[in-house]
Amino acid sequence: MITDAQIIGQLGAFSDQEVALFSRYSHNRFFKKGDLLLRPGNFQASIYFLKQGSVVQYKKPDERERQYENLYVENSWLFDNGIFSSQNHAASYLEAFSDCDIVEVSLSSIHHLISLSSSFLALNKIFNSLADRINFLNAGYTPAEKYDLLVKSRPEVIRIFPLKVIASYLKISPETLSRVRAMA
């Protein structure tokens, strides 16, 4: 299992003392499949590191109308952007797609860690991942290009999530995804 040193080591260089601080100000949490980490209206300003399992992010609770905004797999950081960008309440659901082992770091803990060591400013890199996702989905790619990019950049998503969920995430119909996969 991944250690705290490996978790924050993905973001930059941290001393043993800084790793100990991260461990002290973060919390391990366990979620069963279907449990909600976050729901719209909550103001739980935290970021999460997914040590084990998978998580989906979506806006509408009705499964028939659900539009998936993000799909998270092991060794991923996750958060609700609305809380951090506008200091607003959560705008989406974060739901455990499978049993999950997660490290949670609250916004107040992030601020405290940064006040103790400027090395923790590296946590800002986590928020850049959202910009990459927005660019990926809004760059005018064809369905085939979106699927190809997903296969190349995040192949584990293809292995873990059902095609209906992947199609929703890519903002294409399941039928279009089936045609794209047949041509690949």
| DSSP-derived secondary structure for 79-137 | --HHHHHHS----SEEEESS-EEEEEEEHHHHHHHHHH-GGGGGGGHHHHHHHHHHHHH
Q: Across the chain, what does the average pLDDT equal? A: 87
What is the model's pLDDT at position 86? 52
What is the model's pLDDT at position 7? 95
Q: Distance between CA atoms of 128 and 133, rounded to whole angstroms?
A: 9
At which residue do the structure tokens 């873990």 appear?
A: 160
pLDDT at 49 over 90: yes
pLDDT at 169 over 60: yes
Q: Distance between CA atoms of 22 and 142, rounded to whole angstroms?
A: 41
Residue, of 42 and 24, whose pLDDT is higher: 24
What is the model's pLDDT at position 184? 75
What is the model's pLDDT at position 85? 53
What is the model's pLDDT at position 126? 80
At which residue do the structure tokens 């760059």 appear?
A: 139
Tell me what the mean pLDDT of segment 88-101 comes to.
87
Residue 169 DSSP SS3: helix
Structure tokens at 1: 């299992």
What is the model's pLDDT at position 136? 63
Residue 78 near residue 57, CB atoms below 8 Å: yes
Q: Distance between CA atoms of 71 and 54, rounded to whole angstroms?
A: 8
pLDDT digits (tens, 9 = 90+) for 1-12: 799 999 999 999
pLDDT digits (tens, 9 = 90+) for 97-143: 999 999 999 888 998 999 999 999 888 888 776 555 655 666 688 99
Tell me what the mean pLDDT of segment 77-94 comes to.
71
pLDDT at 33 over 80: yes
Structure tokens at 7: 């978790």
Looking at the chain, the whole-number percentage of residues with pLDDT higher than 70 is: 88
What is the model's pLDDT at position 48? 92
Q: Angle 143-153/125-138 helices, nearest 10 degrees? A: 150
Tell me what the mean pLDDT of segment 43-66 comes to.
85
124: phi then psi, degrees, rounded to nearest 5: -60, -25
Q: Is 84 exposed, middle or buried (0-12, 13-18, 19+ CB in 10 A)?
A: middle
What is the model's pLDDT at position 127? 73
